[in-house]
Amino acid sequence: MKIIDKIWDYVETWMSVFAMLIMIISIFLQIIFRYVIQSALPWSEESARYAMIYLTFIGVSAGTKIGAHFAVTVFVEALPKKLQNILNTLVHLLCAVLFAAYLLLAIDMAQNIYSTGQLTPAMQLPVYLIYSSLPLGFAGAVFRNVQIVIQDIKTLRCADSESGSVKA
């Protein structure tokens, strides 16, 4: 699991950096060409948009890992610590199941788009490449939530064994 985590961290990081660079460079070039050279680039807005789409769906996975997604915790924080941990584990398990469902739907959608052979208007890229960002991001989110659930279960077991409630 640690090897997969390191590989996915690497992929997440570099895809995010690459997408951000594409956005910055495309928009910068568009500004230069439009206002200095007086001739707009036909592909720059499209490339920035597609990079943002990839960045968004890779961000779903990255945000899950660091706990950056919003949550309403007022009720959970009122519970005892052990119950908070159990509830948080259940929430991450539910998120993993939901993201797995989204993953299956996204794969189906990307396959349907692939079968059409549709190309993007300006860059003439296959549209399925853009839609592939969905399964990629959702697969990462499933992985990250499962990873958190496993860690939570280990933490719960350690806490139980330290309190003497687990019998060997």
Q: What is the pLDDT along the chain (168 residues), one digit of tens a residue?
A: 789 889 999 999 999 999 999 999 999 999 999 999 999 899 999 999 999 999 999 999 888 888 877 777 778 888 888 888 899 999 999 999 999 999 999 999 999 999 999 999 999 999 999 999 999 999 999 999 999 999 988 887 877 666 655 444
Question: At residue 104, what is the residue type?
Answer: L
**CA angle, corner 38, sides to 35 and 44, nearest 5?**
75
The domain ranges of the chain are 2-163
| CB atoms near residue 88 (< 10 Å) | 19
Cα–Cα distance between 29 and 13 in angstroms, integer? 24
Q: What is the pTM of this model?
A: 0.84
